[in-house]
Chain A
Amino acid sequence: MDYVKAFIVGGLICVIGQVILDNTKLTPAHILVSFLTAGVILGGIGLYEPLVRFGGAGATVPIIGFGYSLAQGAIEGAKANGVLGAFTGGITSTAGGIAAAIIFGYIMSLVFKPKTKN
């Protein structure tokens, strides 16, 4: 059942992005940034957590979930260490993903050659 929920929630989030892409002049990069920021805001005011509890990976895998994770971390940090925690919390909670993106991104772009476009 959790697979079905993940599929539907994740799919619907992507449909929202597709509708925005098709109806505006925004690029996928704009969508990534605005979805991420939306995730931080929704996570910050506690609106995204129910969706995570319901949709599991369907809510956490889209980039908006990355924003949620940043906000969660910042709030947890703030609870524990005040303003200092507000600074460290966001990156702490997403450190794995960010570090992975940097090192795997670097390695892959060295190992592979870009495919020539036909």
Chain B
Amino acid sequence: MENMTNKEYQQYAEKKIPKPTYFKNMLMAFLVGGIICTIGQFIRNWLFNSGLDEKAVAGGTAIILVFLGALLTGLGVYDKIGKIGGAGAAIPITGFSNAIVSPAMEHRTEGLIFGVASKMFIIAGPVLVYGVSSSVIVGILYVLLTKGR
């Protein structure tokens, strides 16, 4: 034991650190994310069966899921789902909705403009900035690459 180099000791110590949550986190992310997507599939099928086209179905599904995510966040339920599911709750579009409502509620005391309306975009802002910008770039690249064909 005493003759260990620093590096050896580190390796030894790392072995001793318990990692019980690692696999469990993955499992819970899989289950929670899977369940949310299954609910999404249910909404999708329902909208398809009511005669909407692909685009309307995609939009409608997003709207309904965003609504559910916002409502559950307001009720304090989504934070609990997030604690269980981790990325499984954060990555579906309901998590995007949660990322909007959560800071907006917390900063409500700062007023309707600088509190709610501005803090809504703490996370949604960067998402929209990167999403919209990169989509415009994709569109322009498409125009450039297909020009003259």
A binds B: yes
Please tell me if the beta carbons of A105 and B108 are within 8 angstroms of each other in the complex: no
* Chain A hits for B104, CB < 8 A: 105-106, 108-109
Residues on B lying within 8 angstroms of A by beta carbon are: 22, 25-26, 29-38, 40-45, 55, 58-63, 65-67, 70-71, 73-76, 79, 85-88, 90-97, 99-101, 104-106, 108, 112, 116-117, 120, 123-124, 126-128, 130-132, 134-136, 138-143, 146
- Chain A, residues 14-31, CB within 8 Å of chain B (1/0): the string is 110111111000001101
Q: Known contacts A32-B91, A32-B127, A62-B37; is A108 also within 8 Å of B70 by CB?
A: yes
Q: Known contacts A6-B37, A15-B33, A78-B143; is A89 also within 8 Å of B61 by CB?
A: no
In the complex, given contacts A67-B134, A105-B100, what are 8 additional A-B residue pairs having Cβ atoms less than 8 angstroms apart?
Answer: A29-B126, A37-B130, A63-B93, A75-B142, A78-B142, A78-B146, A93-B59, A108-B71
Instruction: Give how many A-B residue pairs fall within 8 Å (CB-CB).
Output: 281
Please tell me if the beta carbons of B29 and A15 are within 8 angstroms of each other in the complex: yes
User: Which of B31, B34, B120, B139 contacts A106, CB < 8 Å?
Assistant: B120
For residues 51 through 107 of chain A, which have their beta carbon under 8 Å from a beta carbon of chain B?
55-58, 60-67, 69-71, 73-75, 77-79, 82-83, 85-87, 89-91, 93-102, 104-107
Q: Known contacts A96-B63, A108-B105, A114-B105; is A62 also within 8 Å of B143 by CB?
A: no
Please tell me if the beta carbons of B30 and A11 are within 8 angstroms of each other in the complex: yes
Q: How far is the CB of A80 from chain B (nearest CB, A)?
A: 11
* Chain B hits for A90, CB < 8 A: 131-132, 135-136, 138-139
Which A residue sits closest to B94, measured CB to CB?
A: A61
Please tell me if the beta carbons of B62 and A100 are within 8 angstroms of each other in the complex: yes
Main secondary structure of the interface of A (DSSP, over half): helix
* Chain B hits for A66, CB < 8 A: 62, 93, 96, 131
Q: How far is the CB of B101 from chain A (nearest CB, A)?
A: 5
Please tell me if the beta carbons of B131 and A57 are within 8 angstroms of each other in the complex: no
* Chain A hits for B127, CB < 8 A: 32-33, 36, 63
Please tell me if the beta carbons of A109 and B105 are within 8 angstroms of each other in the complex: yes
Alpha-carbon gap, A31 to B56, bound state (A)? 27
Q: How far is the CB of B92 from chain A (nearest CB, A)?
A: 5
Q: How far is the CB of B102 from chain A (nearest CB, A)?
A: 8
